[in-house]
Amino acid sequence: MAVEPFDVVDLIHTKRDRGVLTTAQIDWLVGAYTRGYVADEQMAAMTMAIFLNGMHRDEIRDLTLAMIASGETLSFDGLGKRTTDKHSTGGVGDKITLPLAPLVASFGVAVPQLSGRGLGHTGGTLDKLESIPGWRAALSNDEFHRQLAEVGAVVCAAGSGLAPADGKLYALRDITGTVESIPLIASSIMSKKIAEGTSALVLDVKFGSGAFLKDIEQSRELAETMVRLGTDAGVATTALLTNMNVPLGLAIGNANEVRESVEVLAGGGPADVVALTVALAREMLALAGQPDADVEAALADGRAMDTWNAMIRAQGGDPTAALPVARESHVVTAARSGVLVAQEALPFGIAAWRLGAGRARKQDPVQHSAGVDLHAKPGDTVTAGQPLFTLSADEPERFERALEALDGAYRIGDPGEPVESGGPLIADRIG
């Protein structure tokens, strides 16, 4: 039996006492945990020590590289196209990947978008796309590379071989109260993104009510950490800090978010969704060597829509097929006339989750037709009896709990009263 070079308890003591782990210690720790030598309870103690005491920049870099080294990495060297990717930290109504990937790909840039599923109040890109009849998330490596070469955009599930240490560690953090740690969040996101092999990456780091991190300064620290990790790994990386105090767009769910995304690709859609899609596309294309690309023109002239249709068909979907519609709906109307001055993101995300659009456990199914459709946004003038939003679900008994989540989540004020939006949609750019 081989003798291990380190004792995990010693390493736990080091982090518990605010010490710094060496590269060799971190490499061993991640490898030993991945192969099962380090037990879950030991790694839970380590993650709690990191959660409480943080990590130095070099430690975060070493942790990220060790998680990358735990599995395979992808390469697009033979593709003949520049590659650029985007990652969002998630929010309520955040369907930006759907119009963004084909929009960027319509400029001849390859977008290898490995996405995930929703958990809790934040939706998952794969769940949304699976609303489309026939569309499939799982692709072989050959299918993945062929679609990138021929269509230019792929949105699919990541294989289990990419950064398997992260998958194991994230599942542990999820049940031990150590998710909200900037070193652990940053290394988790960036290990997968760097392993994907893209040459450029744009991060959409959200703050506010419906975001993973509520405080803008915490989100800024996360963005700066991830930009450094990407840059250190040779990936051109920038980040936008974006506002998630108010739901993004008018649709919150799965099928309804696909409908809204198609509206954007057709040259319409809500102003905030269009603005963020355009801003992120400009960032991605600038990193791919096209800083002057006219992204608005690609939305207006149908190029982005053509790429969307090709992308959906390549993965077995029918972009012309009818999307699921819920059997039941419940409309909430304005109790008085005035101005909608508040619409808090998190409760609307929880309401959509309770309607069936999200999942409490990773293995739970989602109802693609369930969700919330907003009919007014903060700053809009409303009249008594006017619809404010519609809840949709297959089981009407879900409405009561969804309405409980929305108690106090929106408010109608008098004309001239300040609107509670939490500031501009894009607060800052980092990188």
| Residues labelled catalytic | 87, 166, 173, 188, 192
What is the distance between the alpha carbons of residues 400 and 387, in angstroms, rounded to a whole number?
18
Q: Please answer whether residues 155 and 312 qualify as being in contact, where contact means their C-beta atoms are separated by less than 8 angstroms.
A: no
What is the Cβ-side half-sphere exposure of residue 255, based on CA atoms within 13 angstroms?
Answer: 18
What is the Cβ-side half-sphere exposure of residue 99, based on CA atoms within 13 angstroms?
Answer: 33
Q: How many CB atoms are closer than 10 A to CB 327?
A: 11
Q: What is the DSSP letter of 398?
A: G
What is the distance between the alpha carbons of residues 294 and 244, in angstroms, rounded to a whole number?
27
Taking CA atoms, 196 is separated from 68, 110, 203, in Å, by 10, 13, 15
What is the distance between the alpha carbons of residues 127 and 124, in angstroms, rounded to a whole number?
5
What is the distance between the alpha carbons of residues 429 and 296, in angstroms, rounded to a whole number?
20
| Residue indicated by tokens 């992204």 | 295
Taking CA atoms, 365 is separated from 269, 353, 359, in Å, by 28, 12, 7
Q: Please answer whether residues 429 and 239 qualify as being in contact, where contact means their C-beta atoms are separated by less than 8 angstroms.
A: yes
Q: How many CB atoms are closer than 10 A to CB 214?
A: 16
Q: Containing H/E element for 146?
A: helix 141-150
What is the distance between the alpha carbons of residues 197 and 76, in angstroms, rounded to a whole number?
7
Q: What are phi and psi of 206, to 5 degrees?
A: -95, 155
Which one, of 407, 416, 246, 271, lies nearest residue 339 by Cα? 416
Q: Which residues are CB-contacts of 3 (< 8 A; sequence separation ≥ 6)?
A: none
Which one, of 25, 44, 325, lies nearest residue 172 by Cα? 44
What is the distance between the alpha carbons of residues 162 and 250, in angstroms, rounded to a whole number?
34
User: Which pair of structure tokens corresponds to residue 64?
Assistant: 């990220």
What is the distance between the alpha carbons of residues 74 and 197, in angstroms, rounded to a whole number?
5
Taking CA atoms, 112 is separated from 102, 127, 262, 351, in Å, by 11, 18, 20, 32
